Amino acid sequence: MINILLKNDDEYILDTIGLPPINYDGPEYNIRALDKYCKEKGMKPEELSDNELKQFELEKK
């Protein structure tokens, strides 16, 4: 199973729904591109290989 951190482009949503900050040191992914790729391939994110998933990894800030 692949655990994916959903990085939110709109920080105000976190304030609106009152979620606490997430402390996570793992990789972050471009979720929109990952979702589009999966839909085009007809697969689920957890079915991606490590190599396929790597292309959606974001650089750490």
* Tens of pLDDT, residues 5-22: 555 554 444 445 556 666
**What are the phi and psi torsion angles at 8 (to 5°)?**
-95, 125
Lookup: tokens for 6:
């959903």
**pLDDT interval class at 47 (50, 70, 90):** very high
**Of the candidates 23, 25, 26, 28, the residue with the CA atom closest to the CA atom of residue 57:** 28
Comparing 35 with 5, the larger pLDDT belongs to: 35
Share of the chain above pLDDT 70, in %: 59
Amino acid present at 41: K
> Looking at residue 56, what is its pLDDT?
93
Rounded Cα distance between 37 and 52, Å, is 10
With 0.75 as the threshold, say if the pTM is over it. no
| Residue-range domain boundaries for the chain | 5-54
> Looking at residue 26, what is its pLDDT?
82
